[in-house]
Amino acid sequence: MTLAGGFAGLAGTVEVIGVHHRLLEGITSGYGFSGIVAALFGGLHPLGTIPASYLFGSLLVGADKMQRAVQVPSALVDTIMGLVVLFVVGSSYLSHQWSARRLRGSQGAGGHVMDKIFTTVVIVGILSSAIRLATPYLFASIGEAFAQLSGVLDLV
């Protein structure tokens, strides 16, 4: 946690010193959520987050250029990030299910009932929290996309 906080502080320092040259209110503009999505996409591994953060950084920079050049709403990038969260958590759920089935198959048909209940409760908890976290971003980005297409700008 200390290392993560240090990196967040370094990112804020670079933003203040290198870009704005002063401290402003609301300076982060959603970097925390983008960092969480890049970490999830990178498999929660430090080496995996490097290409994932470059991918999402290019998506964020390309969103503005897409909007100016081709009139594609920039909120599409937020939708993609929300979908990445859902798919990464969903793939984790499916891989856990497949490994549990393989393990059950090698141990025979009988298994402990409490293990099955605990596994189900954990999986439902993970999926519900992922949906709870990702759904507002999906709805907000879809709503912003419709607002931009209808001519209303800057709902936020």
Q: Among 132, 51, 53, which Cα is nearest to 89's?
A: 132
At 144 the pLDDT is: 66
**Between 16 and 152, whose confidence is greater?**
16
Average pLDDT, the chain: 75
- Compute the average pLDDT of residues 95-120: 70
- Quote the pLDDT of residue 3: 79
Write the pLDDT tens digit of every residue in 19-46.
Answer: 778 888 777 767 777 787 788 778 878 8
